[in-house]
Amino acid sequence: MIGLGVMTGLFLVANSGWVTVNIPPWLTGLFGERPQDVWFPALIAGWLASAFLVATLVLWSGFYVWRRRQYETLINRLERELAKLRNLPFTEPAPLEDLPEVPSAAAARVMNALDEDEGLA
């Protein structure tokens, strides 16, 4: 990159004169019939700036498309996770808190005894 800059600088120093630019027929209404004298380094700088702006626009649009795709992928993944969480009570219901996971005969006897005691009181 530095070498390209050095070569461009030397080229512009060696060709730092004015050049005559003939106006195309479709622009004669804007600039007139006479040829225009343009400073050559400014002409080259304009072309380089235009190429740089076009390259920047192309790279930026590619980056924009890439980031947009990443955002859409993230949103889709989060929506799938949210759908899974919304259906969690149906797919994996929580156990009842007051009953053990596995029925126990001893616990059934204790609960039955407690119910009988309440009935007597």
Residues 25-71 pLDDT 10s:
888 888 788 887 888 888 888 888 999 999 999 999 999 999 999 99
DSSP letter (8 states) at residue 96? P
Domain ranges in the chain are 2-120
pLDDT-derived band at 11 (thresholds 50, 70, 90) equals confident
Flag whether pLDDT at 119 surpasses 60. no
DSSP letter (8 states) at residue 19? E
Flag whether pLDDT at 103 surpasses 80. no
Flag whether pLDDT at 94 surpasses 80. no
Diameter over CA atoms, the chain? 120
DSSP 29-42: HHH-SS-EEEEHHH
How many whole angstroms from its chain centre is CA 90? Answer: 35
| Mean pLDDT value across the chain | 84
Q: ∠ CA(84), CA(91), CA(88), 5° rounding?
A: 40
Give me 84's structure tokens.
């899974």
pLDDT at 78: 96
Flag whether pLDDT at 95 surpasses 80. no
